[in-house]
Amino acid sequence: MSRERFMRIHSPEFQAMSERVLQVTALTSRLNVLPFDDEEGKAALFEQILGRPLPPRVTVYPPFYTDHGLGLDFAERVFINQNCTFLDYAGIRLAERVMVGPGATFITNGHPVDPAERRLWLTGAPIDVAENVWIGAGAMILPGVSIGRDAVIAAGAVVADDVPPATLVMGPKGTVRRQW
């Protein structure tokens, strides 16, 4: 069963999502200019961004970027280094003890490859990261990926396929698949 979702771009659902993106962009802009030690201010903004308080013992170093916020699910003892981006409309779950290096990007949304469909639809699939995973600096995790427990995603890796537990993933994934 596919986890991929489709949303028509000119629809009430898309309009609601777009409004949320503008709201969360304003909130993250405020978050990213707070003094580093303003724990109360960061907690209040994260509660608005996530729609609930940040779980205990979660560490997030700003700058931090998300486009929706309500699709983020962080377990306890998650560590997110600075300058990370979470495009989370289709959902991103980070289990306990996940560590995310600086500049990592998680993307749950995209568009169809077919040029005629590209401006009509938004596609998406959730990202699920199991316990004790380490995601290196500048890694990019693409829609629909599940990463198994204890895996390591090396710096700069592009992850487009599921990752088995206790494995190391390295390198870019640019491969020509087809032409039109």
Q: Taking each helix axis as running N to C, give the angle between helix 39-50 and helix 12-31, from 0 to 180 degrees, rounded to the nearest 10.
A: 170
Question: What's the CA gap between 152 and 105, in Å, rounded?
Answer: 15
How far apart CA 26 and CA 161 sit, in angstroms, is 32
- According to DSSP, the β-strands at 152-153 and 134-135 are parallel
Give me the active site residues, please: 111
The DSSP secondary structure of 76-129, one letter per residue, reads: TT-EE-TTEEEE-TT-EEE-TT-EE-TT-EEE-EE--SSHHHHTTEEEE--EEE
Instruction: Label the pairing between strands 152-153 and 109-110.
Output: unpaired
- CA 86 remoteness from chain centre: 3
Helix (H) or strand (E) holding 48: helix 39-50
Q: Is the peptide bond before 63 cis (omega within 30 degrees of 0)?
A: yes
